[in-house]
Chains A and B, each alone.
Chain A
Amino acid sequence: ETGVTQTPRHLVMGMTNKKSLKCEQHLGHNAMYWYKQSAKKPLELMFVYNFKEQTENNSVPSRFSPECPNSSHLFLHLHTLQPEDSALYLCASSQDRQSTGELFFGEGSRLTVL
């Protein structure tokens, strides 16, 4: 079983739609992350949760709304997105926020906004 599972793997949505990305980790970690991966750009850290509490929001537009109900699950709620939001969204986890940077990534959710 994959340590970090993301669903859906692919998502196409219009600018007026509301959808959610889901991430689940089976590693017993306490920190979870959302990253955005766009072509020819470095991975962008979006949000960090540590023990279910949001510890970082990197100036992400409010059309992206994260939710972390427990240490194993992380959601990214999407609404009124723009075409430039099309990207691969990666979820990751680590033992805790103070770990030495070893992140465990899911396979990503490829989002296309029309």
Chain B
Amino acid sequence: AQSVTQLGSHVSVSEGALVLLRCNYSSSVPPYLFWYVQYPNQGLQLLLKYTTGATLVKGINGFEAEFKKSETSFHLTKPSAHMSDAAEYFCAVSPGFQKLVFGTGTRLLVSP
């Protein structure tokens, strides 16, 4: 079975600081990995995805994530946080052409 663990339900950073949101997955087959973002009172929006190929994936709004098979991780980073990055972030895994399994989410708080 596939599963996703997001470490930390809340992460607080200062504006301009590095953002690091952690995601570890479990999958019995090579996974597809995703990060989605949910702004207040909105649905989820795809930030980036890894399917095959280059393990460093760049997404929208300056975010990127690196697929590390040996660590079963897909951590999300952004070099410099902006106030507008405050949102909830969801990591998800899809074991090939099957249903998407989401983590419990990490709320990013950005202070001035």
**Taking beta carbons and an 8 Å cutoff, which residues of A are in contact with B?**
4, 6, 40-43, 45, 48, 56, 90, 92, 97-108
Contacts and interface: CB of A to CB of B under 8 A. Distances in A.
Interface of B: 4, 9, 32, 34, 36, 41-46, 49, 51, 90, 92, 94, 97, 99-105
A99 B9 CA distance: 29
Given A4-B43, A90-B44, A100-B49, A43 B94 contact: no
Given A100-B32, A103-B46, A107-B42, 20 more contacts: A6-B43, A40-B104, A41-B104, A42-B102, A42-B105, A43-B102, A45-B99, A48-B99, A92-B44, A98-B97, A99-B97, A100-B51, A101-B94, A101-B100, A102-B34, A105-B36, A105-B43, A106-B43, A107-B41, A107-B43
Name the 4 nearest CB pairs between A and B, nearest first. Answer: A105-B43, A101-B94, A43-B102, A105-B44
Contacts of B100: 45, 101, 103
Question: A41, A48, A100, A106: which has the most chain B beta carbons within 10 Å?
Answer: A100
Nearest to A3: B43
A108 B51 CA distance: 27
A101 B49 contact: yes
A108 B39 CA distance: 12
A105 B49 contact: no
B53 to A, nearest CB: 12
A12 B36 CA distance: 28
Contacts of B92: 101
Question: A42, A90, A99, A101: which has the most chain B beta carbons within 10 Å?
Answer: A101
A43 B94 CA distance: 14
